[in-house]
Chain A
């Protein structure tokens, strides 16, 4: 199953690069995604109600919430489309993404028009 990981950076850091994350962090993550054999590409997105948000706080704890439905000033800094068995696996990859530490990752299933 394909999921799009929308990498949301805080508005204060408009270039999409999460503060506190080095280019090396991003390169390491990118390598992990590719080595795991789950890397895909961009796809169209399913209904907004299927979206889930993950945030990782300074203490390393993960928060997963429904949404987003409110207007925000956050900036989309980049995305991954990955192919994994289920939402829990997608959430694990999202939590490992460097962008989750300063900003957040929105995980959205890609619409499957074939089934």
Chain B
């Protein structure tokens, strides 16, 4: 029984999103699809422990869900009439692929990815919907992940679904000419989920959900190099999770991390994806960032890191996505290649950038270079400036430690 229950859980983790997407495609309505997806899963929880997991669980769930939907539509004629109109419109977009007997579900998740990441939805709603519909998280789980009350998240999701329904955001894969505009939208939603998990140390879940979502997307779009790039970037960053923080969640700088604690399996998988992301066309920003992460992950230590190559990659990244934050990271890499004085010149050129005002890593990077140049008074001042801007207690703890080190060197 315990074994079957575990099997049931595993099936649902994998099949929930697929089932939901197939039902949305079938009925053109997210609410109905969610309702009958849950009912089908409840039915499975009742039947499967007694009968065992069926040979094609996805098809079993789909058949059950469709039967529940037909019941629901019989009970509510007005709803059925509205859905019929929707379905006529949906059918114009192409025939519904048939589910062959004995075959598993058709995979319609790509449509659902595009709907959940639609630019007409608010950015925060896109991440919540993607987690709910494609990662299969409950509303309560999504709320916990974003540290908001469950009612707040429920309202947000209801509002987003109302917009999809009433403004009729379509469940469709955009035409090829729209891809350059729309695919980055999906990747951005997933990456925002990842960085949200990355920022708050204890919420590893979100980073792993983001990786799982990207794995799904990669199976759906094996030829899209930026999907490979995003997956590589996240794997190569996530590989350092065990070494990235010390006691009390205080962040550990890259140069001080215990590299023996980095996850070699993830590094290997990520590194293998980098050439996939970077060959066969012009590089994309995720592929380039993944290549930078791979150089860090493969280096034995800071001194043995290929800084000339990292600077060259930052040059490419800066051309692709000009931003002062990228320029700041590039300056730090130049400081490693050419020495702190060269890095400081570049950092000082960024002074007055509106986007860096209030961004604590900027004065923190200046503090580091001034310290290495033997200018302790200026280093301490920059470090105090960073302390005043840092948003979280672990970040401030790290800066206080660096400030003490600067002051000790001065004494």
Number of interface residues of A (CB under 8 A): 20
Q: How far is the CB of B5 from chain A (nearest CB, A)?
A: 41
A24 to B122, CA, bound (A): 35
Residue of B nearest to A47 (CB): B166
Q: CB within 8 A of B166: which of A46, A62, A63, A66?
A: A46
A20 to B121, CA, bound (A): 30
A52 at interface by CB-CB < 8 Å: yes
Residue of A nearest to B175 (CB): A88
Enumerate B63-88 residues with CB–CB distance to A below 8 Å: 78, 81-82, 85
Enumerate A87-106 residues with CB–CB distance to B below 8 Å: 87-88, 91
Knowing A62-B181, A66-B122, A115-B82, say if A87 contacts B162 (CB, 8 Å): no
Enumerate A42-71 residues with CB–CB distance to B below 8 Å: 46-47, 49-52, 62-66
Residue of B nearest to A67 (CB): B122
Q: How far is the CB of B399 from chain A (nearest CB, A)?
A: 36
Residue of B nearest to A69 (CB): B122
Total A-B Cβ pairs within 8 A: 55
Do B172 and A88 have beta carbons less than 8 Å apart?
Answer: yes
- Using Cβ atoms and an 8 Å threshold, which residues of chain A touch B325? none
CB-CB contacts of B129-168 with A at 8 A, as 1s and 0s? Answer: 0000000000000000000000000000001001100111
Do B89 and A85 have beta carbons less than 8 Å apart?
Answer: yes
Q: How far is the CB of A45 from chain B (nearest CB, A)?
A: 11
What 16 additional pairs, Cβ within 8 angstroms, besides A85-B92, A86-B172, A88-B174? Answer: A46-B167, A47-B162, A49-B162, A50-B163, A63-B119, A66-B121, A85-B168, A86-B168, A86-B170, A87-B118, A87-B169, A87-B170, A88-B169, A88-B172, A109-B168, A115-B81
B120 at interface by CB-CB < 8 Å: yes
A91 to B167, CA, bound (A): 11
A1 at interface by CB-CB < 8 Å: yes
6 tightest A-B CB contacts, nearest first:
A86-B170, A52-B120, A64-B119, A115-B82, A50-B167, A66-B122
- Using Cβ atoms and an 8 Å threshold, which residues of chain A touch B174? 88
A88 to B234, CA, bound (A): 31
Knowing A1-B89, A85-B92, say if A64 contacts B120 (CB, 8 Å): yes
A32 to B125, CA, bound (A): 34
Which secondary structure dominates chain A's binding surface?
mixed
Contact size range, B: 20 to 34
- Using Cβ atoms and an 8 Å threshold, which residues of chain A touch B120? 52, 64, 66, 87, 91
A91 to B50, CA, bound (A): 51
Do B89 and A50 have beta carbons less than 8 Å apart?
Answer: no
- Using Cβ atoms and an 8 Å threshold, which residues of chain A touch B82? 115
Do B119 and A49 have beta carbons less than 8 Å apart?
Answer: no
- Using Cβ atoms and an 8 Å threshold, which residues of chain A touch B163? 49-50, 66
Residue of A nearest to B114 (CB): A88
- Using Cβ atoms and an 8 Å threshold, which residues of chain A touch B89? 1, 85-86
Question: 22 A-B contacts, Cβ less than 8 Å apart?
Answer: A1-B89, A46-B166, A47-B162, A49-B159, A49-B162, A50-B166, A50-B167, A51-B167, A52-B167, A62-B181, A65-B119, A66-B122, A66-B163, A85-B89, A85-B92, A86-B170, A87-B170, A88-B169, A88-B172, A109-B168, A115-B78, A115-B85
- Using Cβ atoms and an 8 Å threshold, which residues of chain B touch A85? 89, 92-93, 168, 170
- Using Cβ atoms and an 8 Å threshold, which residues of chain B touch A65? 119
**Residue among B118, B168, B174 with the most chain A CB within 10 A?**
B168
- Using Cβ atoms and an 8 Å threshold, which residues of chain B touch A50? 162-163, 166-167
- Using Cβ atoms and an 8 Å threshold, which residues of chain A touch B119? 63-65
CB-CB contacts of B20-57 with A at 8 A, as 1s and 0s? Answer: 00000000000000000000000000000000000000
A64 to B181, CA, bound (A): 11
A68 to B296, CA, bound (A): 44
A62 to B119, CA, bound (A): 11
A51 to B120, CA, bound (A): 8
- Using Cβ atoms and an 8 Å threshold, which residues of chain B touch A86? 89, 168-170, 172
Residue of B nearest to A109 (CB): B167
**Residue among A52, A85, A86 with the most chain B CB within 10 A?**
A86
Q: CB within 8 A of A87: which of B122, B167, B181?
A: B167
Q: How far is the CB of A87 from chain B (nearest CB, A)?
A: 5
Q: How far is the CB of B347 from chain A (nearest CB, A)?
A: 30
A107 to B119, CA, bound (A): 13
- Using Cβ atoms and an 8 Å threshold, which residues of chain A touch B85? 115
Q: How far is the CB of B89 from chain A (nearest CB, A)?
A: 5
- Using Cβ atoms and an 8 Å threshold, which residues of chain B touch A52? 120, 167
